[in-house]
Structure 1
Amino acid sequence: MRSLTGIVVASLLVASLQTASAKDNENWVVSWTGSVQGPYPVGNPSAQPDQKFAFPDPAAGARDQTFRLIVRPDIWGKQARIRLSNAFGTKPVTFDGVCAGLQLGSAALLRGSNRLVTFGGKMSVTVPPGDSVWSDPVTLPFAGQPDTLAGRRLAVSFHVVGESGPMTWHAKALTTSYVTAPGAGSKGTLEDEAAFPYTTASWFFLDAIEMTAPTDAFAIMAFGDSITDGTASTMNGDDRWPNVLSRRLKAIHGNKVAVVNGGIGGNQIAGPAEYGPGKPFPGGPASGQRLERDVLSLSGISSLIWLEGINDFSKNGNAESDKVIAAMKEGVARLRAKWPHIKIVGATVTTALGSSSAAHGFPEQDTKRKALNDFIRTSGTFDGVIDFDKATLDPQSGGLKPEFVPDSTTGGAGDKLHPNRTGYLAMGQAIDLDLFKPVRAGRSAKRKE
């Protein structure tokens, strides 16, 4: 596959020639991410509607249809740029009719808010397999006072010309988005909902949004697996632990901080060894294989919180703790080599002991988890530690605290692996905010790289 860096460089150089760009007193800061993990339908979605009407043939993918993806930017600016990804496709995908507008409700947009998005000054863009592309900056007419938009949702619409083939996606959005029927054509400029009969609980092709923000604004990347992605939190509730952290920080910094989510359900640190469209894995590529795309290619990140490892020790992963520790140390070294300023915070892995999941919950897994947590707490590898294990552990059973178990998304007894909304709230509240005092952030707007 072609490298992500080349296409990003080309698109950003073209974007710099456009009249709309970050002003001298502003930088680009990543505002939202949905880490792509593979070709649909390989992945671990939550509360997914039946997709057979929207996508009758997964191999063919989208066919002459329009997506209206709903996202919640964590920092707002007067201008935005979006990234479309074909990282796990097998053929070029052409997008046109790309728009960004403010969601009113369902697939309907606030009247007059929708704006066309261009790529190198053109209304369409073709993304080769294995690549991604940034849009030109687009002015958001409704963002005159960005502080007033906190918590609002942006609708990003785009039309897939012809058949896409295997669709690059993020399975576990825990957010409802909308799709037209196959063959419906380009509908992204419409502001009503009539053309979007089908829903999805996943994000397709779109994997990052950046906003213009004051030069002292900064972003924090929450990097990990399903417990960062938000399994068992509330559908459309924005109550994952990164959301809780964001709201706490916004009470201090307002619209100058973003906490973006780089979690993928089922992700591992040390495996799988190989990953690609022809050899997908539900948890996506190993963390080290996605650091460049999901972290280092984004703007304004000053800190990263790494919470991961339980899947490496599952029956599907079954890695030794030393191998996982080595892979985590390698990832930390790669981050610091490119961004010496970045603050990397290790988060202890929460218990899965007694889980009803067939791949989790056995004593050997818990022993390996404890060894990884000892490394995170005591090795000095990290600039700080968040003890999520302590915040969620029931000392008597060795499992999650009972009140953290029932599933908030679908109801029911829960799996004793993923904390619910109550557990994520406890995790978010356990974070020492002094870990995230503003520092010089990564990849400024002025650097096109």
Structure 2
Amino acid sequence: MAGFIALLPLLASANAAAAEPGPLPAGWVAAWSAAAQAVPPAQDAPSFNRAPDTAGRTVRQVIYPTLSGASARIRLSNVFGNAPVTLRSLTLGLAGRESEVVPGTLKPLTFGGKTEVTIPAGSAVWSDAVAVPVQAGRPLALSFVAPTNAIATTWHKLASQVSYVSGPGDFSSDTQGAAFRGHITSYVWLDGLAVDAPGASAVVAIGDSITDGMRSTLNANRRWPDRFAALVSSSPAGARTAVVNVGISGNRLLNDSPCYGKALKTRFSADALDQPGVRDVIMLIGVNDINFGWMPPHSGLDCDVPHVRVQAADLIAGYQQMITSAHQRHLRIFGATVTPASLPADREAIRTEVNTWIRTSHAFDGVIDFDAALRDPGTPTRLLPRYDSGDHVHPSDAGYQRMAEAAFEVWSAPRAR
């Protein structure tokens, strides 16, 4: 008994070590990501800002990797939790039709050899490697049983992808979809996939809703980083290059939001620079910083808090900080011009000044001129109608495709290589 008691601290230490979020070994490269954000407090939030009911149910989430590999690791996140969260019966396999999994591909997912994992509050953890043949563009299905005593406090709200929730019970090993009658369009407790791909690298796209793909076609992978990834993977220069998307809808460069995530300057290291195998970063951010200060405050959940009115100099100083951080890691960073949003004249003047600096300062390693790619030549303060999803801010699928082409033209240029 005395020996067993003496062993307990060692066991606890070993378990803690298995749950550490530290860097992956060399050769592992990010192949998919979704930036984690906090679920707003339920007492203040309307239904669309509340986490789905997952208590004691099996959650099956569908993800599309952008790099192939013989084995994979999944990253689970509780970074916005205030208590540990235990997920159990984790499995990973090739996704089939809707909530189905291709028979024969389902594998148990382990953490320190165990098929359940306790994620400490404020932390994220990588799984053990699992031998699932990952193919770029072919979806995977991650399943786990959610705790009965906790709701998700960490999610990625806008997935633009349907995932599934069962009724109460453990259906993580089911390859059929009959148990999964609930549909969700957010990712919960899930923010990364890496594959074993020595010699490969990743491009990280970071920004706001336009990078997140808001108003793109559901389940169609029409966000601009998706289309960019398709162009990259089919090119000689990018055959071993992944593209991961860490945009957050509503995100700002300079200020946090109760709904739209930590400020990009705050999350930049964790979401972009720390991605396994990252080589390049493409950053598009600023329109929400320009706009939100003019939104009227209101009672209840006010997603636009703080209502700070920024100037071009504020944004430029923020960009310079991100450039310095990337260069300190010996990474390239491409700056993207802020796209047209039919802004009032005073706000449009800020956007114009910011874009002029991005184009002419030579501070970035390359400039992707999304503004020029999407604007209406006759009225350059607005999107070209065929590139407008209808809200005059977010591109249509055709607009996102044009952005991908503009990004690829710059990224693949010989001087950028």
TM above 0.5:
yes
Distance 2:83 2:51 in 1: 23
The question of 1:260 aligning with 2:225 is answered no
Distance 1:96 1:166, change over 3 A: closer
The question of 1:382 aligning with 2:364 is answered yes
Asked if structure 1 preserves the Cα contact closer than 8 Å seen for 2:21 and 2:125, the reply is no
Of 385, 395, 402, which residue of structure 2 is paired with 1:426?
402
Aligned length: 383
Tell me the residue number matched to 1:269: 253
The question of 1:345 aligning with 2:334 is answered yes
Where do residues 276-287 of structure 1 align in structure 2 (5 Å cutoff)? 281-287=258-264
Cα RMSD (Å)? 2.8
Asked if structure 2 preserves the Cα contact closer than 8 Å seen for 1:91 and 1:165, the reply is no
Tell me the residue number matched to 1:36: 36
In structure 1, give the amino acid aligned to 2:319. Answer: M
Distance 1:74 1:378 in 2: 32
Distance 1:166 1:13, change over 3 A: closer
Where do residues 204-353 of structure 1 align in structure 2 (5 Å cutoff)? 204-215=188-199, 217-253=200-236, 255-272=239-256, 281-314=258-291, 315-316=294-295, 317-337=308-328, 339-340=329-330, 342-353=331-342
Asked if structure 2 preserves the Cα contact closer than 8 Å seen for 1:32 and 1:260, the reply is yes
The question of 1:186 aligning with 2:170 is answered yes
Where do residues 333-412 of structure 1 align in structure 2 (5 Å cutoff)? 333-337=324-328, 339-340=329-330, 342-353=331-342, 361-397=343-379, 398-405=381-388, 407=389
**Deviation at 1:124?**
1.3
Distance 1:379 1:429, change over 3 A: same
CA shift digits 1:103-153 (9 cap, x unpaired)? 11111100011111111112211112211111111111xx2xx5xx33210
The question of 1:168 aligning with 2:154 is answered yes
CA shift digits 1:148-188 (9 cap, x unpaired)? x332100011112222244211011100100123xx13221
- Normalising by structure 1, report the TM-score: 0.79
Of 77, 82, 87, which residue of structure 2 is paired with 1:90?
82
**Deviation at 1:293?**
2.0
Tell me the residue number matched to 1:277: none
Distance 1:227 1:344 in 2: 18
**Deviation at 1:246?**
1.0
Identity in percent: 35
Distance 1:432 1:132, change over 3 A: closer
Distance 2:259 2:205 in 1: 20
Distance 1:15 1:311 in 2: 32
Q: Which runs of 5+ in 1 are unaligned?
A: 1-6, 43-48, 56-61, 273-279, 354-360, 408-413, 442-449
CA shift digits 1:340-390 (9 cap, x unpaired)? 2x110001010101xxxxxxx322221111111112111121000011100
**Deviation at 1:296?**
2.5
| Helix, strand or coil at the partner of 1:429 | helix
Distance 1:180 1:50, change over 3 A: farther
Tell me the residue number matched to 1:81: 73
Which deviates the most, 415-424 or 308-317?
308-317
Distance 1:233 1:15 in 2: 34
Distance 2:20 2:117 in 1: 15
Tell me the residue number matched to 1:128: 120
Distance 1:434 1:347 in 2: 11
| Helix, strand or coil at the partner of 1:417 | coil
- Normalising by structure 2, report the TM-score: 0.85
Q: Which runs of 5+ in 2 are unaligned?
A: 1-13, 296-307
Of 160, 163, 181, which residue of structure 2 is paired with 1:197?
181
